[in-house]
Amino acid sequence: MSVIERTIVRFAEPQDLEWCVVEDDSVTEQVTRNKIVNDEIIVGEIDGQLIGYVRLEYLWSKIAYIGMLFVEEAYRRAGVGRKMLNFLENHLKEYGHDVFYSSSQADEPEAQAWHRGNGFTECGMINGLNEGGIGEVFFRKFLA
């Protein structure tokens, strides 16, 4: 059975908190805890081991935005990120969203290629947003 077939995607649960905090140190433990309670963190797992993570944000409290998407190195390029993205898309459609956003640093061509390969289109850039003056490229995806 392939990695993608073995991967279970679900909303994070309170017992996942520690792993989520370690994998995403860009937000506090309290923020992560609140996001778990509000179904704003999605995880991928194989045989009970967490291997992927998506943190959902809402710009202006209404526009869905992927704040972080992470897959453990050993499971990258196996479809885990796409499977978590599909789960997120279905969730967003269920709640009436017709579009959502994501981004990557301007110096991350692989991340940008991943976005484009998953149906996102570039919709803007903020220069100098990240450490070292690196820009952030923003992407939009319409939900059919």
pLDDT given at position 23: 81
pLDDT given at position 144: 82
pLDDT given at position 70: 94
- SS3 (DSSP) at 73: helix
pLDDT in tens, 90-115: 999 999 999 999 999 999 999 999 99
Residues of the chain with pLDDT under 50: none
Cα–Cα dist 63/124, whole Å: 16
pLDDT given at position 24: 82
Contact 112, 70 (CB under 8 A): no
What are the CA-CA distances from residue 1 to residues 7, 31, 78 (Å)? 10, 36, 12
Question: What distance separates the 2 farthest-apart alpha carbons in the chain?
Answer: 44
pLDDT given at position 3: 87
* Cβ neighbourhood burial of 128 (10 Å; 0-12, 13-18, 19+): exposed
* Beta strands at 41-46 and 63-71: parallel, antiparallel or unpaired: unpaired
pLDDT given at position 124: 97
